[in-house]
A and B are shown apart, each in its own frame.
Chain A
Amino acid sequence: MTAEPRLPVEGDAVLRFAPHTRFRFDEVRQAWIVLAPERLMLPDEQAVEILQLIDGKRAVDDVIDELAGRYDAPRDVIAGDVVKMLQDLVDKKVLRL
């Protein structure tokens, strides 16, 4: 996608899961899953950690701070990964601004 996103994920944005989207633990697979209209995702460990911080209260910047603290990793590296993933999920209408 070369165009500017319609709903850009900025640092002060507060994200939540869209209605009728479920992020839950699946007992059969012993893994976290995302269920959405016509979509089914099996997020990897890193993605699960990010999604667990999406609670409709934290801003994107807080999510990045939390993860940067947890991993003792350069904040801008983490920020790049997090924003890229969240933007993709907003564009797919799994998350909402």
Chain B
Amino acid sequence: MTAVEPPLAMLAELTHRCPLRCPYCSNPLELSRASAELDSETWKRVLGEAAALGVLQVHFSGGEPLVRRDLADLVRHAAKVGLYGNLITSGINLDAGRLAELVEAGLEHVQLSFQDADIVSGDRIAGLPGSQEAKRRAARLVREAGLPLTVNAVVHRQNLDRLGEIIELAVALGADRLEVAHVQYYGWALRNRAALLPSREQLDAATAAVEAARTRLAGLLVIDYVLPDYYAHRPKACMGGWGRRFLNVTPAGKVLPCHAAETLTGLDFPTVAEASLSEIWYRSSAFERFRGTDWMPEPCRSCERREIDWGGCRCQAFALTGDAARTDPACALSPDRELLVGARADANESAPDFVYRQHSAASHRSPDLVSSPA
């Protein structure tokens, strides 16, 4: 196999604190407390190490990165060391003053999440009344500040029928790009899978809507859209391959090959306190574990696509089969393929309430959290 190349991008998860409670949140079930978060000086050291290692883009994310008072300081430091800074935000509590501070610090781009085009439904999915109006205000501020805007819409059974309206919303907000992301099922989303997994009919209609809009809006709105794994024939090259392109630093400083990797048991992920990013990237056993093709079982090992999809997603293989080293069941050649088929049938037959994201004691359902704000 070829030599290990430096990572292209880093997701800096500054915090797990967030005003929203989306039931498909990509944060782990065990959320970090504010007291466990890395301090400013440590983050600055990590940003410097990232740039020296070859990282080109840093995505400030969370949770909600705006809850960190030192965000502008970190953005400024990222720009200083040559990183292209992107803010991934809910937009709640973004005001003109805060945004001006971030622009002055060298922020290059904002990715703003929307839960639906319908305000009542969006507020219900986000678990926060008033959130969708706040997001519309945030989008206007971003455009007025002259920053490029990407609208991120996570789609699923309960909003996919309105994808056409979500596309129109992105155009109306003046977005440059729309990222339509199907829910990935691990962590919170796996818990809510039966409420979130779309039907085949919904999916086909949505895909047709995207294709028509792409043609109609070429040069005006770029639409990124990838078919969801549960209806795919071949898996995606998750993160471009384990330990090939991307690294993630959690609020408490763990370094992961993807934001969901903490769901995998049996891997020891180093922290930024224990080693430099370079040592972790090139030499840690966790990054070595699924890098390249040597770890692969059949049918991946002899597959002609093994260096195209890199065996798919390790977290999905683990979530579905209990073994991170198996072929991703998103592949039609996987011996575990029937697990996906069963999940699709489940979602079509039941309509459970959401289990909203929350700090700890997360395993029980809180009945007061499921009411609609409308």
Q: Using CB atoms and an 8 Å cutoff, list the residues of chain A in contact with chain B.
A: 1-3, 5-7, 18-20, 22, 26, 28-29, 33, 35, 37-38, 40, 90-93
Contacts and interface: CB of A to CB of B under 8 A. Distances in A.
B147 interface: yes
B186 to A, nearest CB: 23
B268 to A, nearest CB: 27
A5 B56 contact: no
A39 B260 CA distance: 22
A92 B176 CA distance: 9
B153 to A, nearest CB: 14
B177 A37 contact: yes
Given A3-B218, A35-B84, A90-B219, A26 B56 contact: yes
B150 A38 contact: yes
A29 B8 CA distance: 10
Contacts of A22: 84
Interface string B46-64: 0000001110110000000
B111 A38 contact: yes
Interface of B: 6, 8-9, 52-54, 56-57, 84, 86, 108-109, 111, 146-148, 150, 176-177, 179, 214-220, 222, 224
B148 A26 contact: no
Contacts of A29: 6, 54
Contacts of B216: 3
A15 to B, nearest CB: 13
A1 B108 CA distance: 29
Contact of A28 (B6, B9, B219): B6
A3 B109 contact: no
16 contacts: A1-B218, A6-B217, A7-B219, A20-B109, A22-B84, A26-B54, A28-B6, A28-B52, A29-B54, A33-B56, A35-B56, A35-B57, A37-B108, A40-B57, A93-B176, A93-B177
Contacts of A33: 56
A28 B53 CA distance: 7
Nearest to A29: B54
Contacts of A5: 218-219
A40 B57 CA distance: 8
4 tightest A-B CB contacts, nearest first: A6-B219, A28-B54, A37-B109, A35-B84
B164 to A, nearest CB: 18
A83 to B, nearest CB: 15
A91 B148 contact: no
Given A6-B218, A90-B219, A38 B179 contact: yes
Instruction: Among A20, A35, A38, find the residue whose CB has the most chain B CB atoms closer than 10 A.
Output: A38
Contacts of A19: 146, 148
B219 A37 contact: no
Contacts of A3: 215-216, 218
A90 B176 CA distance: 12
B70 to A, nearest CB: 23
A92 B220 contact: no
Instruction: Among B148, B150, B216, find the residue whose CB has the most chain A CB atoms closer than 10 A.
Output: B148
Contact of B148 (A1, A20, A40): A20
